[in-house]
Structure 1
Amino acid sequence: MASAEHSSSAAAPGQQEARRGAFSSRKVFILAAIGSAVGLGNIWRFPYVAYENGGGAFVIPYLIALLTAGLPFLFLDYAIGHKHRGSAPLSMARESRKAEPLGWWQVGICFVIAVYYAVIIAYAARYTFFSIDKAWGADPEGFFFGEFLQTSEPGVTLDFVAGVLIALLIVWAAVLLIMGLGVQKGIGATSVVFIPLLVLAFGFLVVRALFLPGAAEGLDTLFSPDWASLRDASVWAAAFGQIFFSLSIGFGIMITYASYVGRRTDMTGSGLVVGFANSGFELLAGIGVFAALGFMAQSSGVAVDEVVADGIGLAFVAFPAIISEAAGGSLIGVLFFGSLVIAGLTSLVSVLEVVVSAVRDKFDLKRVTAVLVVGVPAMVVSVLLFSTTSGLLVLDIVDYFVNQFGILLVAVVTMVVMGVGLKALPGLAAHLNRHGSVKLGRTWMLLVAVVAPLALGYVLVRAFIDTLDEPYGGYPAWMLNVFGWGTAGLVLVVALVITVTRRKAVTPEHDREGADR
């Protein structure tokens, strides 16, 4: 058995890639990477973060964060995956066996994200149809929390909400079908169709929003610069946190996607395209959202800052109110919620692919088998936890903790381990420089090993102190301990357990030789 496993791992590079799958071209890879990066957070998080942190002045720390932390870490992910041709755990193990738990930590985070991300897409899918006849009536907030979600008091119930359950099952069926079709025919083909469609739909939405009465006031509220805010450390922390969350870096996605790209691909040039395309879409989202909020404020006879919201509140309460008041509101609603569905699906596919790829590499499974092994349990957990009357409450807690004490923490640890512990950055830079149009040198290594960890570490420490000082969301302590701290801790424990479950030999030397071919 041992010799068979070793021989499977030591297969020729061409055979390995044929078994794992690959993107057919650099263009498809770029579209898939953009699809992963452009998600719900771009649409409903960035505009609010920018508004809260200096408006137009926020562009300065945001761009600095992109150049000094976002792109450098994106290149790190690309280098690890492209050089070692494996999932996040396998690529980490091929760099050093000691680093494999980092890969499984990232896989665990992706599994958790997948199980709750799907339900938000289900919400958006239902609201796409609700927009046609404005089913929420005169009270969008009461409809969302009441008639639609039937939200319970804090706690956990098994009272399923039929409207959410059916939509959630359809979302999972679509995602598993895409995953089962493979890297190119599923993920790649979906990105080639969906990303241009997303840009067209959201672009049309922004144009329509700009012609709404009050749009100028909304944009003025967003872009009026508060230059004094640049002296506030929290504004810079918000910029680094936003760019990090929005680029899909640090939790295995870009490592996995990079492993599916041809060996002679210009990865650094591709990274610039992905990074700036993501930021461009965030700016577009900010314009569209605040133009619409300006209209809402004027219709309500209040200041724009009184109607500003983010996240769930923006999408499912504020925007339905806008749709109800605006001429042609049904079209705006279909475009907005349809954009959420598309952006969410491409991101969910990328998140789930991290887990599928890791399971395939670890246990040497065929793709469809791995998709079912990963997807069916994820769907079951998703349904049990998030299609019930308590689903939104659990989702809110899990989302906050897995982002703050999952993604950020593993990213900081990864940078320190790769840059300081393993001293792997020179070798990774040399790999990308072989075919990259943007050459990486000491500046990149300094940014990855020192600047980005310090900046993100500051964000992490602030979040940790704030969470201890004031329990998140006012939820009961037991819910925060189980679904918050418990989830974040369980992911790390499972990562360590899976690491010691040896099923497949890792041959770093062979992989390095193959990477040079």
Structure 2
Amino acid sequence: MSAPSSSPAATGAKADRGAFSGRTAFIFAAIGSAVGLGNIWRFPAVAYENGGGAFILPYLVALLTAGIPLLFLDYAIGHRWRGSAPAAWRRFRRWTEFIGWWQVLIALIIALYYALILAWATNYTIFSFDQRWGDDAAGFFGEYTQALGGQDATISFDVVPAVLISLIAVWAAIIVVMALGVQRGIAASSVIFIPLLVIMFVILVVRSLFLPGAIDGLDAFFKPHWGALLDPGVWIAAYGQIFFSLSVAFGIMLTYASYLKKKTDLTGSGLVVGFANSGFEILCGIGVFSALGFMAQAQGVAIDEVVTAGVGLAFIAFPTIISEAPAGALIGVLFFGSLVLAGFTSLVSIVEVIIAAIQDKFGLARIPSTLWVCIPLAVVSTALFSTTMGLPLLDVMDKWVNEYGIVAAAAVSTIIVTYVLRGLPTLRDHLNHRGSFKIGLVWFACVGVIAPVVLGVSLTLSTLELLRAEGTYEDYPGWFVLVFGWLMAIGLVVVAIGLSLIPWPAGSNMHKNDSDGDPIAPEVEAGLGLVPSPEASTPHELRS
């Protein structure tokens, strides 16, 4: 794309995209995106299964060599080219626009099923008061979701009323927050929910620490197994946890950074977000394993017999703990309430990726773009995931959109930026111009070498695991895995390429000034030395 002139005729009116009022609002929103369900129900089990206390070492290495560097990369692209994922990538280089749409479509798929987990957590917060699951948490969850699956199951999409109602409530809340905009909706909800989440979880941790058996749980969680450090799989697990936890490489942080003011310390903000997210994960590990230690002692079994992750931990193991623990209702409300808060702020950030893309593409105001995105999302999400196939659909789509969506998109984008566009020096200069933490060759190595290698190895190992497995994934019907797994993942790429070929309308935000009323990525920032002309809006070496 040729660099548009900075004249009013060329740049058009001010783009009504919204903006964060300041760095604090952005940090809360970014932490709200990063701190999600994975922190609470995935990290503790991953750490336990991969060396316990020894896992902290590869975890920190992964944070410093992949998580934070890729976070910086997202910030740089979004902040410099001041747009949604498709707009920012297009401004970077015309033909890379497909990466942005790929990220948007990944966010779309995740939003569809993420709302289901949030709906479950909302209902279980209420169920905690009377411990409605009784003595059989697993059986109750099965009856509650009426989930079907497996090779011998009859595939049906019968509506589950309890799930339908909670899903409608979740999407109604999302629509309200998104319609309020970047500052009054996204930032305001994060500023309220994130401190509340931390307070609730700290109370949960303190309560869990006083349960009988809590010390045994903490011993199992923190006891280091140093031999695990020699296992390459442990290091891959560490990178995988950091990568998914920080919400990097699928458009969220890129979009959020585009709402920041020009003179923002991007690297300092990234360090705050990265370490805050990891700190909360450690807190989650303490709380979860204290409770699991109690559960193991109460049932007279070893810790490894009660450790689980994901849906099993949240909706089967924890209800069992709540039923057996003193003041169980309090633990239940705190735990499931924390899931609701963490999940809600994450879902808001996921939906924002889609809204921002539609807003930029068609030059829409906030409320119309919110309705155009959220109403169809809500209809499809409730139609698919309020049914007896909700859990199997979530399981398969989450597996493939993570392994072959997020991981693949991240690998492709880092390779293109580093070796095809050779854009890292430009992005480094942009980050360093206002950043309090200066980056250089080490960042180049992390983004251009370590990240692509780790992502490529992870993708290869996941593929081999699926191909070598007997039968299909989780024994679901072959057509089911094919349609909602492989074809869905491939379809995202194909549709993304197709969307990138559609011309941008004259009324789009592509050539408009940004939310500050300034030309996109103006080179008046003295000292960058990228383009001598102050009118240029795109670095000379990156124009197409």
Tell me which interval the TM-score lies in, with the shorter structure as reference length: over 0.9
Q: CA deviation at 1:328?
A: 0.2
Counterpart of 2:27 in structure 1 is: 30
The C-alpha deviation readout for 1:78-117, integer Å capped at 9, x for no partner, is 0000101100110111110111100000000000000100
Q: Distance in 1 between matches of 2:115 and 2:219?
A: 34
Q: Distance in 2 between matches of 1:8 and 1:239?
A: 51
- Which is worse superposed, 237-246 or 447-456? 447-456
Residues 37, 339 of structure 2: 8 Å contact kept? yes
Q: Distance in 1 between matches of 2:475 and 2:24?
A: 46
Q: Distance in 2 between matches of 1:179 and 1:142?
A: 36
Counterpart of 1:67 in structure 2 is: 64
Q: Within 5 Å, which residues of 2 pair with 1:240-255? A: 240-255=239-254
Q: Distance in 1 between matches of 2:465 and 2:251?
A: 27
The C-alpha deviation readout for 1:285-335, integer Å capped at 9, x for no partner, is 000000000000000000111000100000000000000000000000000
Identity of aligned residues (%): 56
- Which is worse superposed, 436-445 or 238-247? 436-445
Counterpart of 2:53 in structure 1 is: 56
| 1:92 matches 2:98 | no
Letter in structure 1 aligned against 2:212:
P
Q: Which of 520, 527, 532 is equivalent to 1:511?
A: 520
Q: TM-score, normalised by structure 1?
A: 0.96
Letter in structure 1 aligned against 2:11:
A
SS in 1 for 2:20: coil
Q: Distance in 2 between matches of 1:67 and 1:24?
A: 29
Counterpart of 2:480 in structure 1 is: 479
Q: CA deviation at 1:157?
A: 2.1
SS in 2 for 1:144: helix
Q: Within 5 Å, which residues of 2 pair with 1:63-212? A: 63-146=60-143, 148-153=144-149, 154=153, 156-212=155-211
SS in 2 for 1:344: helix
Q: Distance in 2 between matches of 1:445 and 1:259?
A: 22
Q: CA deviation at 1:512?
A: 3.0
- Which is worse superposed, 397-406 or 152-161? 152-161
The C-alpha deviation readout for 1:454-499, integer Å capped at 9, x for no partner, is 0121111101111111132121111110011111111111111111
Q: Distance in 2 between matches of 1:189 and 1:124?
A: 22
Residues 218, 293 of structure 1: 8 Å contact kept? yes
Q: Cα gap change, 1:155/1:480 in structure 2, threshold over 3 Å: closer, same or farther?
A: farther
Letter in structure 2 aligned against 1:513:
P
Q: Distance in 2 between matches of 1:443 and 1:360?
A: 36
The C-alpha deviation readout for 1:30-51, integer Å capped at 9, x for no partner, is 0000000000000000000001
Residues 267, 432 of structure 1: 8 Å contact kept? yes
Counterpart of 1:498 in structure 2 is: 499
Q: CA deviation at 1:503?
A: 2.0
Q: Within 5 Å, which residues of 2 pair with 1:42-441? A: 42-146=39-143, 148-153=144-149, 154=153, 156-441=155-440
The C-alpha deviation readout for 1:48-78, integer Å capped at 9, x for no partner, is 0001100000000000000000000000000
SS in 2 for 1:423: coil
Q: Which contiguous aligned blocks of 4+ residues in structure 1 show a shift greater than 3 angstroms?
A: 6-9, 153-156, 504-510, 514-517
SS in 1 for 2:492: helix
Q: CA deviation at 1:515?
A: 7.4
Letter in structure 1 aligned against 2:158:
D
Q: Distance in 2 between matches of 1:373 and 1:314?
A: 35
Q: Distance in 1 between matches of 2:46 and 2:524?
A: 41
Q: CA deviation at 1:9?
A: 7.2
SS in 2 for 1:464: helix
Q: Distance in 2 between matches of 1:376 and 1:192?
A: 26
Q: CA deviation at 1:508?
A: 11
Letter in structure 2 aligned against 1:23:
F
Residues 268, 438 of structure 1: 8 Å contact kept? yes
Q: Distance in 2 between matches of 1:129 and 1:205?
A: 17
Q: Cα gap change, 1:514/1:364 in structure 2, threshold over 3 Å: closer, same or farther?
A: farther
The C-alpha deviation readout for 1:323-361, integer Å capped at 9, x for no partner, is 000000000000000000000000000000000000110
Q: Distance in 2 between matches of 1:515 and 1:157?
A: 60
SS in 2 for 1:341: helix
Q: Cα gap change, 1:189/1:452 in structure 2, threshold over 3 Å: closer, same or farther?
A: same
Q: CA deviation at 1:504?
A: 3.9
Counterpart of 2:17 in structure 1 is: 20
Counterpart of 2:38 in structure 1 is: 41
Letter in structure 2 aligned against 1:86:
G
Q: Cα gap change, 1:420/1:155 in structure 2, threshold over 3 Å: closer, same or farther?
A: farther
- Which is worse superposed, 57-66 or 154-163? 154-163
What number of residue pairs does the alignment pair up? 508
Q: Distance in 2 between matches of 1:254 and 1:65?
A: 18
Residues 94, 511 of structure 1: 8 Å contact kept? no
Letter in structure 2 aligned against 1:294:
G
Q: Distance in 2 between matches of 1:514 and 1:215?
A: 57
Give the helix-richer structure, 1 or 2: 1
Cα-Cα RMSD? 1.7
Q: TM-score, normalised by structure 2?
A: 0.91
Letter in structure 2 aligned against 1:72:
P
Q: CA deviation at 1:232?
A: 0.5
Letter in structure 2 aligned against 1:62:
Y
Letter in structure 2 aligned against 1:512:
A
Q: Cα gap change, 1:466/1:508 in structure 2, threshold over 3 Å: closer, same or farther?
A: farther
Q: Distance in 2 between matches of 1:156 and 1:119?
A: 19
Q: CA deviation at 1:158?
A: 2.6
Q: CA deviation at 1:440?
A: 1.4
Unaligned runs of at least 5 residues, structure 2: 514-518, 527-544
SS in 2 for 1:213: coil
Q: Distance in 2 between matches of 1:8 and 1:181?
A: 30
Q: CA deviation at 1:145?
A: 0.8
Letter in structure 1 aligned against 2:168:
L
Residues 83, 515 of structure 1: 8 Å contact kept? no
Q: Distance in 1 between matches of 2:361 and 2:154?
A: 37
